[in-house]
Every structure is written in structure tokens, then in C-alpha cells.
Structure 1
Amino acid sequence: MAHRQKRIGILTSGGDCAGLNAALRAVTHRAIRGYGWRVFGIRDGSLGLMNRPLDYVEFDLGIASGEMLRMGGTILGTINKGDPFAYPMPDGTTRDRSQEFVDGFRELGLDALIVIGGDGSMRILNKLCKQGGVPMVGIPKTIDNDVAHTDYAIGYVTALTVASEAMDRLAPTAASHHRVMLLEVMGRDVGHIAMAAGIAGGADVILIPEIPYSLEGVAGRLAETQAEGRNHALVVVAEGCKTETGHNVTHVQADGEARYGGIGQYLAARLAKMVQAETRVTVLGHVQRGGQPGPRDRMIASAFGVHAVDLIAQGKLDRMVAWQHGSVVDVPLNEVAGVTRGVDPYGTIAHTARGLGIYIGEMRV
């Protein structure tokens, strides 16, 4: 009897970032070259298996060329809303479509599914797969770098590079016009990008969701820069940072959904009066997500993709690949799904910022 050729699926879920295509390429190369398997890319995250007809493409080595390494975004498409357990319908109601996802997996004849996503995607897809008995391996991706048990997620380093380059460009124009420049970066619940970019870019103030602050504390640090003989200052703030009174700053989209954004303008208006200085705000937004991935994201994504396929070959399922201490390891999905890894207010990065004289808030140290 001929041995059945194994078939694996792969999808990208949640917000896009740089390096996703490098992971798709690595999975394809390892699966085909290493094991002789077939690889099916599922379009638009979980929707590809929920749609009828199924929406997918079979990958081969011709598709998975070196050019994929250099491409931003994801060639499969992705979604960051539409929970299959409570899927929004046109009439305003919600419907449980989770079984459609499971049925799609079986209809395509897949043996396992590789999911590339952040903590939210891991939570939902892990629940979906467990309910339907679908073998799953996760690959972490998010520019926020907030997935538990991994030092790096795909997309973070490239986004950090973009934010750091923005700091390098803002510094000379701030000095030329004697201004306080505020840079608002992404980070809904965590401040990894803000902290690292602020340190790398020579910020005077870094504000993140994990550490409370006061306007007086910020203004005090900006006044110190003037006393030190400097005619300008740099402030970095994560978009999810609350006001000093603990309120979120959001704006409502056309679809009625409230999105983070505006904390930079909020701070600029108040600080201008407190320190008698001209302020300007730059909001990087989705610029941090897009563009060509940097070499480190390409390398990490490639290592994750190879290891994810090897896990399936070894029968080690319901795991997520992770980067720890310079090596790729794997951890149980149950320990990752829905868990957020924030900035440690007392960790090395925060200690470094304080040691450099950067104001990052007022927690006891």
C-alpha cells in the first residue's frame, strides 16, 4: 500500500507585520525538501477554511522563492476581527461558525495546521483547534512583541528599526526649531517598541501603558533638559498609554469601533503650556507594520518556520515555537494563548532607561 503524502496547512492571523512571508517560505521549503509533504496556504486567516468553496493556494518551491523573504505584509492576506465563535452577520447578529472552520480543515484533508499569529490569534485558534481535534503548531508574530515565553516575535525588530529611524530624523529638526518632539508609536497594551526606540533614539521621556506617570513629572524632565543647556527634547509614547488620570485616548472609526490613538496630541497640548515650549507630534501608525523586513526578522521567521515543521514531523503538537536565549525552542500553546508579556517595570530595559536619566514614570524602584 502506498504511503499517503502528508498535507499541512498554514495561515496568518491578526495584524500584518514584516517577516510573515519569510515564515511561509521557510515552512514550504522544510516541508517539501525535508519531508516530501504538500503545503496549503489558507487565505485570510480562519476565513479561508470557513468559506465555501474553501479559499487556499498550494505552495511549491517556485512560489516560495527568495523574493518572498523581501516582501512585506502577507501574500495570504489576514484578518484581525471576526471571531469564529461569535461571527458578526450582516443583520447585526452573531453566529457560531467554529464548526465550519473544522469542517474546512477536514475537507481539505489536512493533517496539521500551522498558525502564525499574536496572543489574541493564538487564543482563538487554539480554542478552535482543540474543539475540533485539529493538530496545531503556533508561530508568534506581532510588532508589539507581547507574546508570552518568547524573547522575539516576527515583526518586532523591523518595527523597532522604523521607530528608531524616526527618532533619528526628529532629533535634528527638534534642535533646529527649539521644539519638543513627541513620537507616538504602536503598542496597545505594552510598551516594548516605545522603550527600546526611546533608549536607542536618545529620548528624554518614554511613556508606556505598564508604568503610571504624571504630567508634572514629564514637564519636570523637560525643564531639566533646558537647564542642562539643550534647546530641544524628545518624547516617545505608546499609543495605548493612558492619560495621567487613567483614561484611554481613542477615536471612533466609521464602523463604530474605538481605536487607540491621540495620546500624542493630548500630551503635546498640555505640555506646551506647562513648559512654555513649542510642541510637535508625529504618529507613525501603520508605517511600523509595512515595508521590507529587516535581516533579523527574516532570520527569526525562517528559524520559526523550519522548527514548526519539525515539530509536526516529531508528533509534538499543540506547541508554539519560541525564541529564548538565542535559540528556537517550543512551549505549550496553553501557556501562551491569551497571555500578554508586558515590559517589566523593574527589568533591565527599564533600569537602563532610568540610569540614562530618561523619565519613564513614577513607580518605586
Structure 2
Amino acid sequence: MTLRVGVLTGGGDCPGLNAVIRAVTKSLIRHGGCEVLGIADGFAGLMDEAPRTRALGWEQVSGILHVGGTILGTSNSANPLRDAATLAQVGRNVQALGLHVVVAIGGDGTMSLAHGLEQVGLACVGVPKTIDNDIARCERSFGFDTAVATVTDALRRIESTAYSHHRVMIVETMGRHAGWLALEAGIAGAADVILLPEIDYDLQAVVARCQEREQRQRYTVICIGEGAKERGGSQTVRERVPGSPEPVRLGGVGHVLRGRLQPHLKSEVRTTVLGHVQRGGDATPFDRVLATRFGHHAARLVVEGQLGRMVTLQGGQIGSVPIADVADTQRTVPLDHELLAMARYIGVCLGQ
């Protein structure tokens, strides 16, 4: 029997998605003799009365390794588990398409949906994708390296204008509830202050660092993750989307911090919110290789019948874990992580 395999990309876009699509499709065709269908716009492509798919052959996935974004489209609001009627429609579409398994490429939200779709008999194999690097049981997801490079470049550019105008410059990164992106980019970009969701910051500690630098170097660069909050405060919510896999969307904490800092400083304080520039562009060579490794291993899991599992990277080795183990969980920065200790030793203020 020829396996018919669906491939979809869910959640936010991310550098390296096309590299996974290419690797998983070519591996399934060449080594599994499978028929591959690309599903449009994440799980949304399975939620309509008429499912939206297209055949993926060798030619369709050639020449896309380096291209940013996803040729299949994606959605971070499509929720096939939102109600019984939608779930039933997905089940009918899976049967009508003759899908044996779906390779779901996405973050923790996508993995949670993939796990939930076992209710309608849809077997899935997961591939971890996120610029936030917050997927449990996976030490590094593709897209993260590219995002770190993008934020690092932005911090270095911001530093030159901070130096020229003697300002305090705040750069807000993505990351939701995990501070990996702000931490690694902040270190690589020589930020003077790094504020993370895992460590509630003391405003007076940040003020003191900025005042000290006003006297000595006359400028300060602050890198802050969107999920960071002041001690005793709450996270800054940009919008709420009921029914979405990501109902609470963060953003704007950089502007909040600016308002809190300015009354205490002589320097002008400015904020730059990097936003979706962190998701865009071509993947770094590291991410292209990692994404290709992930895609190939996902195809192997499909061919070997190891379903309900997510590809993972642990100790530098590719493996897999049950999707159930990563559904509805996140990987945050441990408070005893060596990067935090190192940052403190080299004089970075972590808001404490």
C-alpha cells in the first residue's frame, strides 16, 4: 500500500520551513515511495468543507532550500479543536483525502493540536519549529539561529545611534514566555541590560545601571523579551484572540519600560520593537542544515511507522519523543543556566 502523507506548516512563519518541506518530501518519495500532499495554511487547510491541498513532487520542492517563509502558507489562529463540528469536518476531510499521517511542522501550539487530532484518528509526526526556542524536550529548534542573528544585527545598529545621541535604547524581541532569543541575542549584541520573562526585573536596578552609564559611557542598550515584566507587575498584552491556539498575544513591553525609565534619567529613552522582521528572511546555514536533518528524520519516522512522535535534538543528536510529552508545555530559561551566570560575571544587568 502506498502511504499518502500530508505536510503542513502551522503557527508563525519561520526561516527554515521550506528546507523541512523539501527534505521531508524528497525523503518520503525516494526512500518511502510515498505520495505527498501539501496542506495549505496549516490546519486551516483541513477545516473547510473542501480541503485545500496540492501534490508535492520532486520538482515542486526543488530550489526552495534557502527561501524564507513557507510555500504552503501558515496560520497561527486556525484551531481544528475549537468545537465538535470543526473537529468532525477535519475527520471527514482526512478520510476523503485518504491521509494515513500528517507531518505537522510547528511550535508548541501546533504540537498540542496535532496531539488533540488523534481524537479523529489522524496520526501525526511533529517537527519542532520556533524562533523562540521554547519547545520542550528539544534543545534547539530551527529558525532560532536565524532570529538570533537578526536581533544581534539590530542591536549592533542600535548601539551606533545610541552612542551618537547619548541615548538609552530599548530593543524589544519576540519570545513570548521564554527568554532564549533576548538572552542569546543580547549577549551576542553586547547589550548592557537584558530582561527576560523568567526574571521579574527590579526597575531601580535598571535605573541604576542606566545612570551609572550616563556618567561613564553616556549611552545604554537594553534588550528586553516581550514577555518580561516588572517585579509586582504583569505582562504587557498586545491583543486577545478568543478561540485561537494563542489567545493572548504579548507586545509593547519596550514602550512600557521607556515610560517607567524616562523620569529617572537625563538621557532620552527610545524604544524599537523589532516585530516580524525577526521571523523573515533566508535561514542561516546552520538552520538550513538543522531543518534538513529534522525533515529527513520525520520522513524516517513515517516510513518506519513511528507515529505520534516529534523529531527532537538532544545532546546534538537527532531523535524523537512522544508528541504528548511536548503538548501544552514550554521550555523556558532555567534560572541556573550557565548563560545567565556568564552574563552576570561579564557585567550584564539582568534587572536584579
- Say if 1:85 and 1:96, in contact at 8 Å, map to a contact too: no
Of residues 299, 317, 321, the one that matches 1:327 is: 317
Alpha-carbon distance change, 306 to 262 in structure 1, aligned in 2, over 3 angstroms: same
What is the match of residue 10 of structure 2? 13
1:31: Cα distance to partner?
A: 0.7
Aligned partners of 1:145 and 1:236: how far apart in 2?
17
Please tell me the residue identity of whatever aligns with 2:111: M
The aligned runs of 1:86-235 (5 Å cut-off) are 86=82, 96-128=85-117, 130-227=118-215, 229-235=216-222
Task: Determine the structure 1 residue equivalent to 2:227.
Answer: 240
SS in 2 for 1:165: helix
Counterpart of 1:207 in structure 2: which amino acid?
L
Aligned to 1:70: 66
| Alpha carbons of structure 1 residues 132 and 251: separation in structure 2 relative to 1, 3 Å | closer
Cα deviation for residue 317 of structure 1 reads 1.2
Structure 1 residues 54, 303: CA separation in 2 closer, same or farther (over 3 Å shift)? same
Distance in 2 (CA, whole Å) between partners of 1:254 and 1:342 is 23
Q: Which runs of 5+ in 2 are unaligned?
A: none
Report the alpha carbon displacement of residue 188 of structure 1 after superposing the two structures with TM: 1.3
Distance 2:249 2:25 in 1: 35
RMSD of aligned alpha carbons: 1.8
Match of 1:249 in 2: 236
SS at match of 1:121: helix
Q: For the Cα contact (< 8 Å) 1:159–1:288, is it kept in 2?
A: yes
User: Hey, what does 2:30 align to over in structure 1?
Assistant: 33
TM-score (structure 1 length as normaliser): 0.91
Distance 1:105 1:144 in 2: 31
Structure 1 residues 258, 150: CA separation in 2 closer, same or farther (over 3 Å shift)? Answer: closer
Output the amino acid matched with 2:189: G
The 5-angstrom pairing of residues 258-273 of structure 1 reads: 259-273=249-263
Give the Cα–Cα distance (whole angstroms) in 2 for the partners of residues 168 and 339 of structure 1. 33
* One of 288, 291, 297 as aligned partner of 2:281: 291
Q: CA deviation at 1:144?
A: 0.8
The match for 1:81 is: 77
1:343 aligns with 2:333: yes
2:57 to 47, 56, 60: 60
Give the deviation of 1:361 after TM superposition.
3.1
Q: C-alpha deviations, 1:17-54, integer Å up to 9, x for none?
A: 11111100001110111122111111111121222222
Q: Give the alignment's TM-score, normalised by structure 2.
A: 0.95
Aligned partners of 2:3, 2:238: CA distance in 1, in Å? 47
Q: How many residues align?
A: 349
**Secondary structure at the counterpart of residue 241 of structure 1:** coil
**C-alpha contact (below 8 Å) 2:201/2:229 kept by paired residues:** no
CA deviation digits over 1:253-310, x for unaligned, max 9? 8999764222111111221221321111111000001111111111111000000010
Alpha-carbon separation, structure 2, partners of 1:134 and 1:99:
12
Q: Is the 8 A contact 2:214 2:267 kept in 1?
A: no
Q: Kindly state the Cα deviation for residue 225 of structure 1 after the two structures are TM-superposed.
A: 2.5
1:92 maps to what in 2? none
Determine if contact 1:188/1:239 at 8 Å carries over to the other structure. yes
Measured against aligned partners, the alpha-carbon deviations of 1:298-354 in whole angstroms (never above 9, x if no partner) come to 111100000001011112111100111222111111111111000111111111111
More displaced stretch, 254-263 vs 5-14: 254-263
Q: Which runs of 5+ in 1 are unaligned?
A: 88-94
Distance 1:285 1:330, change over 3 A: same
Q: Distance in 2 between matches of 1:122 and 1:259?
A: 18
Q: How far did 1:248 drift?
A: 2.3
